[in-house]
Amino acid sequence: MRAVRQSGTEPEIAVRSALESMGVAFTTNVKGMPGSPDIWIDDGGAPIFVHGCFWHRHAGCTKATTPKTNREYWVKKFEQNKARDARKVQELRDLGHAAVTIWQCETSDRQRLIEILSSRLKIG
Ligand SMILES: [Zn+2]
């Protein structure tokens, strides 16, 4: 057993815990890959990004609000974040790895999270 109680955001910890219960082997703190994915599924090499809905702009999500003050600054910042995310996904794809994104708001319900992981990772 590897030590799994490492640092990480709450959503990341929820995803790791769900993967463990599914019996999926994975690595965290992946270095040397575009974007340093939060989690790397060992079998098949699928990178997983666990994204905060606010910072990474989850489309249609109630958490993806835009602050009213300094609006211009925020809009620019969010555009940069989205562009960076898209670039990372493309770089990984170029290396033959299809990245999976899990959103913060998808991690609160464990059973639902397991279903989401199964379908996006095409497990089971
Ligand atoms: Zn969301």
Tokens of 18: 């769900």
CA of 108 to the centre of ligand 1 (A): 10
CA of 99 to the centre of ligand 1 (A): 18
pLDDT of residue 7: 66
Count how many domains the chain has: 1
pTM of structure:
0.89
pLDDT of residue 2 exceeding 60: no
Q: Which domain holds residue 28?
A: 10-120
23-81, pLDDT tens digit by residue? 999 999 888 899 889 999 998 889 999 999 999 999 999 999 999 999 999 999 999 99
User: CA nearest 81: which of 66, 98, 97?
Assistant: 66
CA of 62 to the centre of ligand 1 (A): 7
pLDDT of residue 62: 97
Asked whether residue 5 is domain-assigned, the answer is: no
Asked whether residue 14 is domain-assigned, the answer is: yes
CATH code of the domain covering residue 35: 3.40.960.10
Would you tell me how many other CB atoms lie within 10 Å of the CB of residue 51? 20
CA of 60 to the centre of ligand 1 (A): 8
CA of 2 to the centre of ligand 1 (A): 30
> Which of the four pLDDT bands, split at 50, 70 and 90, describes residue 1?
very low
